[in-house]
Amino acid sequence: MFLKRKPIRLKNYNYSLPSYYYITVCTQKHRCFFTEYKSLKNIVKKEWELIPKQFTNTKLDEFVVMPNHLHGIIIIKPNHRATARVAPTLGNIIGSFKSRSTNKWLKYIEKHKINTIGKIWQRNYYEHIIRNKTSLKIIKQYIQENPLKWKHDKLNPHHIRRGDPCGRPIQW
């Protein structure tokens, strides 16, 4: 028997519409690839920063690469070009980013003869449509402060329970 995945996108929402989108992309099995391989973290950071070059109707705001995930804000701007080409969706943008960073990583590990898996990313990603300036401010602050709160982050495999006086990691 297999589990049916619940859809995580808003039904009937056009994800190519101009808006601010908060994104979280996680690594495969939440493995801390970006602390394990600093070169991979650099590849991911560079590929994220190249998104507006590939998708000219996008702009990046705050982002951070954590040990096993990335948080970022992508702004899709109005597309004033009168072409028959369909505007890229948020899914197209994230899919391209994940594909480009994985391909660069595969070339890197082959060139440097590193014995590791090439699959970086978990299937899918989390997104949230930022609807107002207050929400944008809160999300930007969350992204900025996220590295300081890593030991309490639920995506940290050594997550420390709040209120545990010993700071013992949760046993999985």
The closest of 31, 102, 98, 42 to 68, measured between CA atoms, is: 31
Q: Which two tokens stand for residue 137?
A: 């401010």
- DSSP letter assigned to residue 31: -
Which residues are bridge partners to 60 per DSSP? 74
Mind listing the pLDDT tens digit for each residue in 101-110?
999 999 999 9
Residue 172 CA to residue 51 CA, distance in Å, equals 36
Residue 56 pLDDT exceeds 90:
yes
Between 57-66, 80-89, 92-101, 158-167, the lowest mean confidence (pLDDT) is in 158-167
Share of the chain above pLDDT 70, in %: 83
Tens digit of each residue's pLDDT (9 = 90 or more) over 87-131: 889 999 999 999 999 999 999 999 999 888 889 999 999 999 999
Dihedral of the alpha carbons of 24, 25, 30, 31, in degrees to the nearest 10: -130
Show the tokens assigned to 40: 């991979």
**∠ CA(156), CA(159), CA(164), 5° rounding?**
165
Q: What is the pLDDT of residues 27-55, one digit of tens each?
A: 999 999 999 999 999 999 999 999 999 99
> How large is the average pLDDT for residues 154-159?
81
Domains in the chain: ranges and CATH? 19-152 (3.30.70.1290)
- Beta strands (DSSP E) in 39-138 are 58-65, 69-76, 126-130
Neighbours of 12 (CB within 10 A): 5
CB-CB neighbours of 162 under 10 Å: 7
